[in-house]
Structure 1
Amino acid sequence: MHENEQFFEEKCVEKRTKLIFTLKRQSFRNSILLLAWMPFSIDAAGVPTLKEMIIRANLRELIGTANSASEGTVLKQQLDSRTVYRPGELLETVPGLIVTQHSGEGKANQYFLRGFNLDHGTDLRITVDGMLVNQRSHGHGQGWSDTNFIIPELSGNVQYVKGPYYANQGDFSSAGAVSMSYVDKLPKGIASYGLGQQGFMRGLIAKSHETGKGHVLYALELLTKDGPWIKNEDFKKFNAVLRYSQDSGPTKFNVTAMGYGGKWNSTDQIPLRGVVNGYVPRLGAIDPSDGGESHRFSLSGALQHVSRLGTTQLNLYTVHSNLALFSNFTYFLDDPVNGDQFSQIDKRFQSALNINHLWINKIGGLEIENTAGVQLQNDVIDNGLLSTKQRQTLSTTRRDHINENSVGIYYQNSIQWLEKFRTVAGVRSDYYWFDVDSSLNVNSGKRYDSMTNPKLSLIFGPWAQTEFYVNYGSGFHSNDARGTTATVDPKSGDPVNRVNPLVRSTGYEAGVRTGIIPGLQASLAVFRLDLDSELLFVGDAGTTEASRPSRREGFEISAFYMPSDWLTIDLDYALARAHFSDPDPSGDHIPGAIRGAGKLAVSVDNIGRLFGNMQWRYFGKRSLIEDNSVQSNHTITLNGQIGYKIGKNVQVAVQGFNLLNSKAHAIDYYYASRLPGEPAAGVKDLHFHPIESRSIRVNLVANF
């Protein structure tokens, strides 16, 4: 027996609960979850031996435990080795996922996965420390997912799944779901200070202390950044975290307070013709008064209790957030005098309670692993759309007060029928209530909807450390509550059709995972996903709207290889075809849908005092119009860092972003806009946001 496996089993015996040991054997996913609270968890002292066990010796543990070829866990060691321009890019450790930005740094990122342009999070469910990041019925767009409140040094691990095959994943999870945990304690305190080009400066202090039976962790981050833009971005943000946790005995819990605030100027997407004719520089803005400010405060608690009856997990949280966003995508198309700038306001209190219970029983000689859970959420929202000029209000287009409630109930079981065959079956039911009080009375109203979705996974093997998967499941995304009750367009006065509150997705997948080569974990998945209604980005309003039914087909391949203690290689590539599934003369291509995406990350450590990493990213072409007559180009970026360990507790690193100094685009759209002197109907053109030019940062980290 490997010494680390013996260490794991000894700890299980110390806990004196057969369930923990059984879950370790039965479900690697659940064992990773348990590691987050056991005394020898991924954030505790002595971690490297356990990490080595998971990353190297026991990569094959996913064989025999994973439910699909496209799920996985990214450990803290891997997250710490990434060089990221913005916190949301940590999620690019998920194979096939691209994270970009089309506006100011304080705005939510734009996400691409499995043939989707997910806008700011329409079909990718993101949770951080158990709290749902996606915001329903948001002022800028459905599923708004702002990750600027993440402090990378506190991230524990990232767990991800793809497709609607998992009963515990609800709204927004049709393409996938990503969950980031936070650590309960730090081995040593962290004092970090960074300086760089483009006005970058960042300071961080974080530490944990043993207090009574538990630990107190605190962190404070301050950051400023101007970016390469002609109009300085002047992005300023603060982050603060205060956490108390206990993990002694059979019960673990934590209580966490978080605070974030940000303020920025935006350089939004610009028209290609404006750059060609010299009206606007490539790094310039049509409307330099665009920008915004945002804040987010949360209070959350999590509890996990292990007994002879099973494991019960509970998390409860409330979030208050506020956003004022000023944008101008069409310039002078609607208002040739004042311009088309508009403000989107969103203020909300979001509260949720999630509880689940895991237990194992035997029926007819078969051991059955069961999970049942309930998820409750309430959003009290005030949002609005205003016409503005240089951030000053000219008129009010709409104001809405929304009360949105949901209940999700699910059950899932895993049964090992034969030595080489097991199943995972589940069912989920969701119930939604919408209550909209609009400034335009005809758009007010109440709606109710519900949906039940089955899930099934068949797993064959393993043979020669290789396992095969077949997955089926249906899921859903919710639509903006305002669209479910609206009868009139508040801007034009034209009649509109109400959208369905919940939209079903149906997915199919077949895949293989292998760990036949020591140190290598590789997987291949082929998938199809059908949506009853597509969510599309509307450029002139900055929102999403329901559209035609669609289908996506493609494959993903990923490989993580650690041939030695000092070298890790992480590679993934995905290719998808996305198209509308109903006939229409305009064409069947989905504007903005990603085709190909690939990443290669190489990290070097444990070779003396030096360490470093390099990350190459390929962001493939997208169709920008239904008939495919206009396409974006692909984008290739290269980031990296090289560092030196001055001593046991001090290190310095030089980080480089866009090292190739590419002039490519971070995002592309095709729609009509109007510059001064152009026809009243505007000009259809490609609009783009350039990627940031090459920049260098120096970061000094001291542990104490």
Structure 2
Amino acid sequence: MKRVLVLVPGLLFLLSATAQFNVRGKVTGKDTGLPLEEATVTIKGKETHTHTGNDGRFRIKVNTLPDTLIVTHIGYDAFEFVVTDQETEFTVGLVPVPVQLSQVVVSDSRRAIRQVMQVDLKTNPVNSAQDLLRKVPGLFISQHAGGGKAEQLFLRGFDIDHGTDVRITADGLPVNMVSHAHGQGYADLHFLIPETIRDIDFGKGSYYADQGDFATAGYVNFTTLDRPEQNLFKVEGGQISSFRTVGMFNLFNRQSEENNSNAYIAGEYNYTNGPFEAPQNFNRVNLFGKYNASFGARNSISVLASSFNSKWDASGQIPDRAVKQGLISRWGAIDPTEGGNTSRTNIALKYRNRISDSEDWQTNFYYSKYDFSLFSNFTFWLNDPVNGDQIHQSESRKIYGMDNRYTKYIRGDRSEWTLTGGFGFRHDMVRDIQLSHTGQRETVYEYMARGDVDQTNISGYASADWRSGKWKVSPGLRVDHFIFNYADKLEPAYKTLAEQKTALSPKLNIVYSPTGNLQAYVKTGIGFHSNDSRVVVKNMDERTLPATYGADLGIIFRPIPELIIHPAIWHLEMQQEFVYVGDEAVVEPSGRTRRMGADLGLRYQPAKWIYLDADISYARPRAIDELKGADYIPLAPELTSTGGVSVQPFRSFTANLRYRYMKDRPANEDNSIKAEGYFVNDLLLNYSRKRWELGLQIENLFDVEWREAQFDTETRMYNEPAPVSEICYTPGVPFFARVKFSILF
């Protein structure tokens, strides 16, 4: 319900109707007193609007006084008030209410999509580290090692491997690892604790000037909570010897007129044996802490620190023939000595200065210490019939980086500009990055690659948002300069190989909003992903920063307040899918490629107690320079869909039924071998009281047999007379139930 507040008696009613007045204010949550970011402030009866920053403040220009403003935010009751004074900075406290789809404001495609994601997160909370990426519409994942390795990713007709063509960040920290021992762009998100996630921002395509390396199919950014609403202690237990516990605790919260500060810590322990005959012995420990402080009305800092360590055994991929012949079950292993361990420690500091009501500056410094060790065997006894083909990939890495962002707002009589500029750098110092042929995780038979990498990315960008009436035009330009250095330890004499390369990435987005419930957009841009330093310095004539050229045409339409429809068609061409295969220390150039497709997103809330969502993605990925029929891109997805229904028949009880579907897809270039599709359902039941919660989560509700990671691989089992090329896979999780109990205080 909207409430009307007349803030100052109408002494200024006689002001000229042609004058313009700047109205300033701050929006907070009435329950917490904390500032609300991304609240929408609209002039009633007009399309003029603005949004609050992370300090909750806004500034909007009105033509007459008095005038009526409406403030809305996801999860809060709309607030309407009359302004008759431009001198006072108003504070508006919004009252929390259940999250509703009708609270989404269809005024900016990027912001509207982010608000829909906030509704999704409130309605269908994240329950595991894997769920973090599954929340992104159209993004599919496959886990190779039950939570040990980073997930294999699929988006917009790309088999992204572990992150080659999607840029992933968390609180400004880069997640993708350049020149990684296991593969370019390797993105391991397991250092995040799901309960600490506040928001997920994402965008498909290469249309955003503030997104650089790897942002070809899209980008994803995770933001953690500044302050938990309550302290939390949770324990989970279930089948396959699984156990998890999480704690999240506020340390202090100091509020005053001049200075505000708070801090909290969180920790997680995760253990499971998995459904495999050879126990996984999977262990993961996460620690996280965050401190926030504001100094006066214009300065704030945020400091975070996190650390995680993970260790596991793995059964690896199994050949289809071994299961069909009865040599092993689908939960068995050909080489049960696979596994590994990894760790990452992060420190980041973010500083913000509101220079003036129309200027903003942000700086982010970060440091990461990362270690990785992985033992795998994909071909069994193909290359070494005596000792087997186990390989070891390892590295030790330090990342240093900084990002800066300046924003200037210019508001005229009939239009407004938002000018943004930024620059930064990232330096990866990787020591003893190697690929070796090993046995039983101990004996080293041969080093196939070994050396030190130093890679630097210096970047700058500028973009502008011009708004006038129903139009918004956003041009942008990004420049990235890379310095690649590699010292090969397998060479007889020391020598550092070096190469440099620069990429220019222009962008142009055009948005047309004929009404407050309909928006059409065209997005275009050039993106790129960097290649592995070990390849770049040895193949200087090859494409170092292969570019993508893309365009989207779409609309966001709300025919009724309870329904949002988001269709889009898109086209993307890649200059060269030239990637380094860390498993073999070789290069696989696959030439130019073209992808065309369509996305459809649906969100419907016919009543406050029921929420339905569905995302469908179709893609046609093809190699441009190959003959028809031999131009399929192996493992590239063609049709995927995710969605579900969430019901809350009464206040304390919620039920969520989710599905994910992937159609059969080519596993080789001529589509003679297919990777099997699947349709899997999960169920989450939750009963909540003020101080505690009880939940039941069931993965693979109907216990279907499905294959998660799949590859067409040439392998030879022990004493087999000849190698065989066929599908090797890791089986998808069976029916798996676990109970959760949480204490809130």
TM-score normalized with structure 2 length:
0.86
- Residues in 2 aligned to 1:205 and 1:254: alpha-carbon distance in whole angstroms: 21
Q: Which structure has the larger Rg?
A: 2
- Residues in 1 aligned to 2:123 and 2:467: alpha-carbon distance in whole angstroms: 37
Q: Is the 8 A contact 1:115 1:577 kept in 2?
A: yes
Deviation at 1:263, TM superposition (A): 0.2
- Residues in 2 aligned to 1:190 and 1:238: alpha-carbon distance in whole angstroms: 17
- Residues in 1 aligned to 2:488 and 2:291: alpha-carbon distance in whole angstroms: 41
Deviation at 1:51, TM superposition (A): 6.9
In structure 2, which of residues 87, 92, 103 is the aligned counterpart of residue 58 of structure 1?
103
* 2:628 is the alignment partner of 1:580: no
Per the alignment, residue 207 of structure 1 pairs with 249
In structure 2, which of residues 422, 432, 449 is the aligned counterpart of residue 373 of structure 1?
422
- Residues in 2 aligned to 1:361 and 1:540: alpha-carbon distance in whole angstroms: 52
29 and 567 in structure 1: CA distance in 2 versus 1, 3 angstrom threshold? farther
* 2:381 is the alignment partner of 1:332: yes
28 and 642 in structure 1: CA distance in 2 versus 1, 3 angstrom threshold? farther
Deviation at 1:208, TM superposition (A): 1.1
Per the alignment, residue 482 of structure 1 pairs with 534
In structure 1, which of residues 676, 691, 698 is the aligned counterpart of residue 732 of structure 2?
691
Question: After the TM superposition, which residues 507-546 of structure 1 pair with which residues of structure 2 at under 5 Å, given as runs?
Answer: 507-535=550-578, 538=581, 541=584, 545-546=588-589
Deviations 1:49-107 (A, max 9, x none): 67759743431x2x3322599x5345556336547674032221211111221234210
State the SS of the aligned residue for 2:321: helix
Q: Percent identity?
A: 28
Per the alignment, residue 399 of structure 1 pairs with 450
* 2:176 is the alignment partner of 1:127: no
517 and 649 in structure 1: CA distance in 2 versus 1, 3 angstrom threshold? same
Per the alignment, residue 387 of structure 1 pairs with 437
Per the alignment, residue 279 of structure 1 pairs with 327
In structure 2, which of residues 521, 525, 540 is the aligned counterpart of residue 469 of structure 1?
521
State the SS of the aligned residue for 2:131: helix
CA RMSD, Structure 1 to Structure 2 (Å): 3.3
- Residues in 2 aligned to 1:232 and 1:543: alpha-carbon distance in whole angstroms: 32
Question: After the TM superposition, which residues 642-653 of structure 1 pair with which residues of structure 2 at under 5 Å, given as runs?
Answer: 642-645=685-688, 647-653=689-695
- Residues in 2 aligned to 1:648 and 1:607: alpha-carbon distance in whole angstroms: 14
498 and 696 in structure 1: CA distance in 2 versus 1, 3 angstrom threshold? farther
Deviation at 1:160, TM superposition (A): 0.6
In structure 1, which of residues 167, 174, 196 is the aligned counterpart of residue 216 of structure 2?
174
In structure 2, which of residues 275, 283, 290 is the aligned counterpart of residue 228 of structure 1?
275
Deviations 1:451-472 (A, max 9, x none): 1111011112233611111111
- Residues in 2 aligned to 1:679 and 1:585: alpha-carbon distance in whole angstroms: 35
For structure 1, list consecutive stretches of 5 or more residues without a partner in the other structure: 488-496
668 and 31 in structure 1: CA distance in 2 versus 1, 3 angstrom threshold? farther
Deviation at 1:303, TM superposition (A): 1.9
* 2:482 is the alignment partner of 1:429: no
Deviations 1:400-426 (A, max 9, x none): 101100111111111124x22221110
Q: Is the 8 A contact 1:104 1:268 kept in 2?
A: no
Deviates more, 1:123-132 or 1:605-614: 605-614
For structure 2, list consecutive stretches of 5 or more residues without a partner in the other structure: 8-22, 60-71, 79-91, 255-259
Deviation at 1:519, TM superposition (A): 2.4
Q: Is the 8 A contact 1:352 1:378 kept in 2?
A: yes
> What letter corresponds to residue 685 of structure 1 in structure 2?
E
- Residues in 2 aligned to 1:536 and 1:577: alpha-carbon distance in whole angstroms: 21
28 and 221 in structure 1: CA distance in 2 versus 1, 3 angstrom threshold? farther
State the SS of the aligned residue for 2:348: strand
Q: Is the 8 A contact 1:44 1:186 kept in 2?
A: no
- Residues in 1 aligned to 2:721 and 2:95: alpha-carbon distance in whole angstroms: 66
Q: Is the 8 A contact 2:38 2:51 kept in 1?
A: no
Deviation at 1:679, TM superposition (A): 3.5
In structure 2, which of residues 283, 302, 307 is the aligned counterpart of residue 259 of structure 1?
307
* 2:654 is the alignment partner of 1:607: no
- Residues in 2 aligned to 1:136 and 1:516: alpha-carbon distance in whole angstroms: 44
> What letter corresponds to residue 461 of structure 2 in structure 1?
Y
Per the alignment, residue 287 of structure 2 pairs with 240
Per the alignment, residue 370 of structure 2 pairs with 321
Deviation at 1:347, TM superposition (A): 1.2
Question: After the TM superposition, which residues 644-663 of structure 1 pair with which residues of structure 2 at under 5 Å, given as runs?
Answer: 644-645=687-688, 647-663=689-705
51 and 378 in structure 1: CA distance in 2 versus 1, 3 angstrom threshold? farther
- Residues in 1 aligned to 2:351 and 2:278: alpha-carbon distance in whole angstroms: 47
81 and 29 in structure 1: CA distance in 2 versus 1, 3 angstrom threshold? farther
Task: Name which structure has the greater RCO, CA cutoff 8 Å, separation 6+.
Answer: 1
Per the alignment, residue 139 of structure 2 pairs with 97
Q: Is the 8 A contact 1:100 1:111 kept in 2?
A: yes
Deviations 1:263-315 (A, max 9, x none): 00112111111111122221111110000000000111112222324121221
TM-score normalized with structure 1 length:
0.90
41 and 373 in structure 1: CA distance in 2 versus 1, 3 angstrom threshold? farther
Aligned length: 686
Per the alignment, residue 684 of structure 2 pairs with 641
State the SS of the aligned residue for 1:122: coil
In structure 2, which of residues 11, 26, 46 is the aligned counterpart of residue 11 of structure 1?
26
Q: Is the 8 A contact 1:68 1:469 kept in 2?
A: no
- Residues in 2 aligned to 1:36 and 1:294: alpha-carbon distance in whole angstroms: 42
- Residues in 1 aligned to 2:585 and 2:665: alpha-carbon distance in whole angstroms: 19
Per the alignment, residue 596 of structure 1 pairs with 639
Higher percent of residues as helix: 1
Q: Is the 8 A contact 2:28 2:56 kept in 1?
A: no
